[in-house]
Amino acid sequence: MGVLLTGCVAAPPRGGGASTVSPDVESPWFREATAEVGLASEAEPWTAEGEYFLPEVTGPGLALADLDGDGDLDLIQVRFPPPGARDRPAPNRVYVWSEGRFHRLPGDAGLADPGYGQGVAVADTDNDGDLDVFFANYGRDSFYRNRGDGSFEPFTDAAVVGGPDVWSSAGVFCDYDRDGDLDLYVVRYLRYAYAGHCIQGGTIRDYCGPSGFDGVPDSLYRNEGGTFREVNAEAGLAPPGGWRYGKGLGAVCLDLTGDGWPDIFVANDGEPNYLWVNQRDGTFREEGSLRGVAVNRHGAPEASMGVTVADLNDDGSPDLYVTHLSQENNRLYLSQPGGFFADASIEWGLARYDLPFTGFGCLFFDADLDGDQDLAVANGRVYRGPVLPGAGLSPFWNLYAEPDLLLENNGQKTFAPARLAGDFTVPATITRGLAWGDVDDDGDLDLVASTTDHRLRFYRNEAAPARRHWLRVRALAGGRDAIGARVQVFAGERRWTGWVVPQQSYQTSGDPRLHFGLGEIDRVGKVEVLWPDGTTERFPGGAANREIVCRRGEGA
């Protein structure tokens, strides 16, 4: 039963409340339970040889969100036509969670978008208390409004869905102008038309890399009371003179410079990343190179794809982790005073493990509830390579399959492969989207992954011994999730920091609620929320192992 606090509603999870985790023994962290939760029958593995059509190896993403407002996390699977049949639509699918399983909805709740899907972003864009959905497509994007009952209808706002017929890779919602509604940043990749295969290093036919194609401008759409207008020019989003457009694949939007205003980091493939710094007057200025997130420590741009954020060094500021191609380390850009960043991939031990793999989705989360952030990385090649153990796709696609990575934070500022990763790192696949969420509502975070061949994989978290505790925080402003808010949980000398950033990882939209592993701490002192409008409120803490809902204006 929930307990009414000042401004906060707290409720235990319906899956069982406190200490619903595994017994007090070490067990593998993740067990694949795809079939168990009703997803396996939908697997649609490719059998065809690739025709080297580039968008078939860059997607797709997925979304975990409470689409029908019943408190559970539902699932949107983004899809695209199979290789060799580009004109055959493969509409997106929707699964709702009930009674411990996912169930595909008839008609997919109106979200069966036939576009060539890549990314998805979910948020309440009209402040009516339910979630709307944006699909980033190769070709025209699409936008769907929630009718209020968990079903959706196309939203034909010309500024967004009538945008350029180009290749969008992801969408990110945030309130950049602090006017109370969520604006949309659309990340765009290449100006690409199919012109056959490319020849890669080993002189074999393969997918083309991005270098032979032009980047295209991203778009910022300002929400003007429920309708959207592209404001690139007035927001100053053109790259400075002499620069090419980036080739964006991933993005996050939150305050990265410490002034309380949301900034936008864009992961560009083979080009310097962007950091659009909010100038607090509706405009942005690109400062990626100045602030140390554009290139690696050797001054070289890399093939940036996915991005995730967390406060690893406990300074209350977000650190960025960006995935890359094999032979390029994934990068940890660690926050420094003044809103600067330093490449700390080597110092934190991350560089040792990812070099052979091509990373896409990535997420910081506390897998074992020990109080620090672990890291999951979804891998899968875009160029051929040797077949690895665990590859169970068709002969053609096995050449691209790689195992995913699960890195454990040892609490000493270094990461190492999780000793008991379980099934998550076993199969070699071509994974792209990756989302976390307490899908089975038992107090720990499960993982859902999407692969290029339209398989979904569900990994049930069985990591934490029973003595570990957790707290879930939902921050609401104006009746919707306060995207961009910073939430800090205090317990004695300890402090945990998180940000409401549902659109992170790669082409993926996740649960906006924050989930803090508390280790053996079973009570928290207070919860402090820095709202997107720059104000701060404190809320009482209390017992662990429950969800606290903090509403703006109801704290102290």
The residues that touch other proteins, with contacts defined as CB under 8 A, are 191-193, 195-196, 198-205, 212-214, 217, 238-245, 272, 287, 289-292, 294-295, 297-301, 327, 336, 338, 340, 342-343, 346-347, 351, 355-356
SS3 label, residue 497 = strand
Specify the residue, 23 or 202, whose C-beta has the smaller distance to other proteins. 202
Which one, 242 or 492, has the nearer CB to other proteins? 242
Q: In angstroms, rounded to a whole number, what is the distance separating the alpha carbons of residues 169 and 254?
A: 19
Name, in order, each residue with C-beta under 8 angstroms of 346's C-beta and a sequence gap of 6 or more. Answer: 329
The answer to whether residues 547 and 11 touch, using CB atoms and an 8 Å cutoff, is yes
Query: Is 251 in contact with 262 (CB distance < 8 Å)?
Result: no
Query: In the complex with other proteins, which residue's Cβ is closer, 275 or 309?
Result: 275
Angle at 439 between CA 438 and CA 443, to 5 degrees: 35
CB of 384 to other proteins, least distance (A): 9
Minimal distance in Å, beta carbon 332 to other proteins? Answer: 13
Alpha-helical runs (H) found in 144-195: 158-161
Q: Which is nearer to other proteins, 291 or 469 (CB)?
A: 291
CB of 308 to other proteins, least distance (A): 22
| Beta carbons of 248 and 240 less than 8 angstroms apart | no
547's enclosing H/E stretch is strand 546-551
DSSP string, 30-90: EEE-TTTTT-GGG-----SPP---GGGGT---EEEE-TTSSSS-EEEE---PPTT-TTS--
Nearer to other proteins, 91 or 217 (CB): 217
Q: Which is nearer to other proteins, 294 or 529 (CB)?
A: 294
Give the Cβ contact number of residue 217 at 10 Å: 17
In the complex, minimum distance from the CB of residue 345 to other proteins, in angstroms, rounded to a whole number: 9
User: Token pair for residue 261?
Assistant: 């205003």
Q: Retrieve residue 329's tokens.
A: 């380390």
Closest CA to 470 of 13, 3, 4: 13
Closest contact distance (angstroms) between CB of 285 and other proteins is: 9
State the nearest-atom distance from the C-beta of 292 to other proteins, in Å: 5
Instruction: Give the Cα separation of 518 and 514 in Å (integer).
Output: 13
Q: How many other C-beta atoms lie within 10 A of the C-beta of residue 355?
A: 12
Q: How far is the CB of 367 from other proteins (least distance, A)?
A: 25
Residue among 67 and 275 whose Cβ is closer to other proteins: 275
**CB of 208 or CB of 524, closer to other proteins:** 208
Q: At its nearest, how many Å lie between other proteins and the CB of residue 225?
A: 30
What six digits make up the tokens of 510? 């996740």
In the complex, minimum distance from the CB of residue 326 to other proteins, in angstroms, rounded to a whole number: 9
Sign of the dihedral through C-alpha 552, 554, 555, 556: positive
- Complex with other proteins: residue 166 or 367, whichever CB lies closer: 166
Peptide bond preceding 60: is omega within 30 degrees of 0, i.e. cis? yes
Strands (E), 438-493: 446-451, 456-461, 469-477, 480-481, 486-491
> For residues 60 and 507, is the Cβ–Cβ distance under 8 A?
yes
Q: Which is nearer to other proteins, 25 or 300 (CB)?
A: 300
| 8 Å CB contact between 37 and 429 | no
The tokens for 352 are 């040792």
Q: Of all helices (H) and strands (E), which one includes residue 291?
A: helix 288-291
In whole angstroms, how close is the CB of 200 to other proteins at the nearest point?
A: 7
Closer CB to other proteins, 381 or 513, in the complex: 381
State in angstroms the smallest separation of the CB of 94 from other proteins.
Answer: 35
